[in-house]
Chains A and B, each alone.
Chain A
């Protein structure tokens, strides 16, 4: 393992280094009141230091835990570093978590202080404060609406900074003491606790050291040759390891600039204005962009549509080869160049991806068609496989060695092996030191010699030498007759259709495969508008027979493609239904990172599952839903079920006569 210098082994030390070495370069930006505000590394150090000293004055000490809740704002990133400078441990929580989840994380981590974004978060925490005996001060960034609140516990971010600045000005020893405190930090210290959203059960607090995150971040920077000049947009949840490494640790290690969007809804515009060079997004983001494009194109004029379709065909045929530097006919090269001028360039510009050098997709398997679409446009989109327990990086695809089905070669200093049962295990300098207050779970996941069980089933692809993930190890099942059934494989194929937002495939231990589908309101809504289909609600649109017919057509296409794969032909979809409500993390149906929780959904919609397998043509279901403010209500519906005809597998060659 490559060791790191003792003077650069924590994030506050890196901040001081950057302020001295590249003090005038931009460190972070935030779009506020329609204008990008910039802080240089030197300015950022001053902000962080003032807040840090303020925190110390409020009583935050080495070893204390403190929580961060909110969206991507400079001040929340500063708070992380400010606490770390004192030796305290930040525990970010997902901003959209309902009160119940937040109560669990804050209570479990014993946070003594919380830095939150605005009134919404303050309200949420006040509502649960009787369950948080450890929690003291509550610091907020955005004062709106909080004027009349009781300020015995509440304090504004700038007031904490003012306390810090006053202290620094009045006490000449203060600065030296603060710097000595930073110097006391060691690479082996606990840097952060990140709670995983987990597809099963309670979330677990993953403990990572400075060594874990900094070594991993440096390796990643070296792997993709990232330097000071990168621009990234921070828009993924702060509490997610991906954002933490990508928008915080890698930025501190490489000295690049992080840009915080104006609001979560303006990310696409903000990204275009900034011109990101390095992008990182879960497949969902790419899917949404593609859906949006397809919907807009459907409304475009005939000429535009024709051009778009033609050049998209060219991109699909030749784009990837050109991107990978392979030999292609001159005609293809010329056509592609014209396409770049007319379609791909403008399209990438709209997405804010024109300047991207490296774009990663991670968090979940990406639909192969989506992957090919972006690469065809000339975007250097690569796959990455990671986990919170690994400080993200387990494997990544090197430039030019891209394969749609794999997730890359082991990242620098990472070892990968496959267990006998087919599970992927890894060992690396980024391996976490344990789950907070849960040594049993830790022992279950990490072997004594440092190997970590990922819980994913996969193998090393003999063709490319890269890792290939099939599914969650425990999700891969078999039908009653022994046919292999990989639910995620089917779901991902369905999700490529812009009309389908989510799909849940069922079939393990059953006679045949069934799916429950969520329609995409943007895409289907636009279709409804064009076809004069009137609807009053999501539920009504989902139940529309014409929508059913459209989904049936998609599934039929999928069945045909499954029939062509010998291993999958038996797993064709026989019955399906369209769910009456959108799957939602607030109802526990999706994780906070928007992965479906298949087991939970099957249980929750048991009447529907029973009906799917009993041959009924419709089923009644009533489900409890949670609204954004935490109120609960009931939705009842009668959901129709459709049968599908499986396709025959094509006759196998050599079996004739």
Chain B
């Protein structure tokens, strides 16, 4: 669908590298010795059958889980310990598989919340809400309005998020993540539970985010068709192991991938 373009040229240096990461919960191995990298400016997909460890991988990347071994290099810095707050400050934003919005707040307020880390004035300034604090809020609001315009959600600006249909909530969540102006955007199943039209809309927004803001995107997705059209490179996990990594075409032809998806018994792999 996407023509090769200037975009491919923009894809360059490694933004984030996962090296030999292993993670287990008690006796359950969620990830074993997984390595892959995400380059600046690309759309990177992480796919795999149910329980392959995709969400665990994402949680490791943004500091939700601490891996038992291996390391993560982000913007050239190696991290051993990472907290979600620090990840957010470092420029990693994410959306969640099951949505994590403030349901009682409006679309506008939810996305404004995404600007929290960008607010420079302290609590008391904001209480006064005058002078510099007001100036700052106006500036943030402008950025938020750009996102609202970008995601075409102007008509629900003042609607409580809890009352919105699921597809729109997903869009608001994307908006909140964008409000952080992240260097790396992690999307956990952005299209889960959507109908075809909503999926097409969301795909377009993801491509537009990538192109217009130049944001690097890593996404987990079940819908293989969508992933293949969208991503520059795909890494495939199965039972916590990396079984393939490459362009959509390479991955599509990969024997291990076909086997994993067709559900042949495990342990026979060559």
Contacts and interface: CB of A to CB of B under 8 A. Distances in A.
Interface string B142-186: 100110111010110100000000000000000000000000000
Given A145-B204, A145-B211, A147-B211, A33 B152 contact: no
A34 B145 contact: yes
Contacts of B150: 144
B200 interface: yes
A145 B154 contact: no
Contacts of A34: 141, 145, 148, 154, 157
B255 interface: no
Which of B3, B149, B204 has the most C-beta atoms of chain A within 10 angstroms of its own C-beta?
A: B149
Interface residues on B, range: 20 to 34
B155 A265 contact: yes
Interface in A616-657: 627-629
B137 to A, nearest CB: 13
A145 B150 CA distance: 10
Interface in B186-203: 197, 200
A145 to B, nearest CB: 5
Which of A33, A263, A265, A627 has the most C-beta atoms of chain B within 10 angstroms of its own C-beta?
A: A33
A144 B213 CA distance: 11
Contact of A147 (B154, B200, B212): B212
Contacts of B145: 33-35
Interface string A515-547: 000000000000000000000000000000000
B5 interface: yes
Contacts of A35: 145
Interface string A136-157: 0000000011011000000000
B155 A266 contact: yes
B6 interface: yes
Nearest to B157: A34
A112 to B, nearest CB: 27
B7 A148 contact: yes
A263 B5 contact: no
Contacts of A266: 154-155
A147 B204 CA distance: 14
Majority SS at the chain B contact face: helix
Contact of B146 (A33, A147, A262, A269): A33
A32 B149 contact: yes
B212 A144 contact: yes
Given A34-B157, A148-B5, A263 B152 contact: yes
Interface string B123-146: 000000000000000000110011
Contacts of B146: 33
Contacts of B204: 145
Contacts of A144: 150, 208, 212
Contacts of B6: 148
Contacts of A145: 204, 207-208, 211-212
Contacts of A269: 155
A278 B148 CA distance: 30
Given A32-B149, A263-B154, A629-B200, A148 B211 contact: yes
Contacts of A147: 211-212
Contacts of B207: 145
Contact of A263 (B155, B197, B208, B211): B155
Interface in B1-30: 3, 5-7
Contact of A628 (B142, B154, B155, B197): B197
Contact of A265 (B3, B141, B149, B154): B154
Nearest to A262: B154
Interface in A138-197: 144-145, 147-148
A61 B249 CA distance: 49
Nearest to B208: A145
Given A145-B204, A148-B3, A148-B5, A33 B155 contact: no
Contacts of B142: 33
B133 to A, nearest CB: 20
A32 to B, nearest CB: 7
A33 B211 contact: no
Interface string B198-224: 001000100110011000000000000
Interface in A97-154: 144-145, 147-148
A265 B159 CA distance: 13
B149 A33 contact: yes
A35 B144 CA distance: 13
Nearest to A267: B155
Interface string A253-270: 000000000110110010
A272 to B, nearest CB: 12
A265 B157 CA distance: 11
B152 to A, nearest CB: 7
Contacts of B5: 148
Contacts of B7: 148
Nearest to A268: B155
A541 to B, nearest CB: 16
B11 to A, nearest CB: 13
Contacts of A148: 3, 5-7, 211
Contacts of A629: 200
A263 B145 CA distance: 13
A137 to B, nearest CB: 21
A174 to B, nearest CB: 35
A34 B200 CA distance: 26
Which of B141, B149, B154, B208 has the most C-beta atoms of chain A within 10 angstroms of its own C-beta?
A: B154
A96 to B, nearest CB: 15
Interface string A402-430: 00000000000000000000000000000
A77 B157 CA distance: 27
A265 B153 CA distance: 9
Interface in A554-611: none
Nearest to B142: A33
Nearest to B158: A269
Interface in A460-497: none
B121 to A, nearest CB: 22
A266 B211 CA distance: 27
B230 to A, nearest CB: 14
Contacts of A32: 149
A148 B6 CA distance: 7
Contacts of B154: 34, 262-263, 265-266
Contacts of B152: 263
B154 to A, nearest CB: 5
Nearest to B211: A147
Interface string B18-49: 00000000000000000000000000000000
A413 B141 CA distance: 52
Interface in A235-289: 262-263, 265-266, 269
A317 to B, nearest CB: 36
A619 B148 CA distance: 46
Nearest to B155: A265
Contacts of A263: 152, 154-155
A540 B210 CA distance: 39
A263 B154 CA distance: 7
Interface in A359-402: none
A265 B158 CA distance: 13
A147 B7 CA distance: 10
A138 to B, nearest CB: 17
Contacts of B197: 627-628
Nearest to A33: B145
Given A265-B154, A628-B197, 13 more contacts: A34-B145, A34-B148, A144-B208, A144-B212, A145-B207, A145-B208, A145-B212, A147-B211, A147-B212, A148-B5, A262-B154, A263-B154, A629-B200
5 contacts: A34-B157, A147-B211, A627-B197, A628-B197, A629-B200
Interface of A: 32-35, 144-145, 147-148, 262-263, 265-266, 269, 627-629
Interface of B: 3, 5-7, 141-142, 145-146, 148-150, 152, 154-155, 157, 197, 200, 204, 207-208, 211-212
A-B residue pairs, 8 tightest by C-beta: A265-B155, A33-B145, A148-B5, A34-B145, A266-B155, A262-B154, A263-B154, A145-B208
